[in-house]
Amino acid sequence: MLDPNIVQLVEDEPFDLKMFMQKYDGITPTQFIDYKGYCGDTSDNIPGVTGIGPKGAIELLKTYGSMEAAVSEINRKKDDPKLKGVEKKLLMGSESGLLSRELATILLDVPEMKAVAWEDLAIKINRSGYLEMMAELEIEVKSNAA
């Protein structure tokens, strides 16, 4: 069984915005981090919010737009008897949801790295030491010399 993150590498069709929104019932790629925060991801050890799955996550995202907005609004009306089940679950698990959202976020503000010349990345082998080791291991080395 392949990891779902790998499967996209072997599909014929590119996974574009239209396909994304079809797969995730209309949510946008920018909402996907919140989706992961709600649902979690066992393959990445992201816990999510207990009791909220894909359906509930999409419902919350369509209603509130983002996890922060949902948590804020649900906390504001926490005593309202009309709270839906999925809203109650978020109220109880908002800390886990926000942590899960943070875990699902790919950091983009990493320090700039110095440029490295391709030559500096080359593996430099001590040829005589290599040949000596191969001889000790009784491994024949074919010469590239013409």
Residue of 52, 62, 61, 59 lying closest to 89 (CA atoms): 52
For residue 10 the two structure tokens come to 């072997």
For residue 4, name the pLDDT band (cuts at 50, 70, 90).
Answer: low
CATH number at residue 64: 1.10.150.20
**pLDDT digits 0-9 by tens, 64-121:** 999 999 999 999 998 888 889 999 999 999 999 999 999 999 988 888 888 888 787 7
% of the chain at pLDDT higher than 70: 90
Return the pLDDT at 10. Answer: 62
Residue 62 lies in a domain: yes
Inside any domain, residue 98 = yes
Question: In which region does residue 25 sit, left (phi positive, over 0), alpha (psi from -120 to 50) or beta (all else)?
Answer: left
- Structural domain including 60 reads 13-104
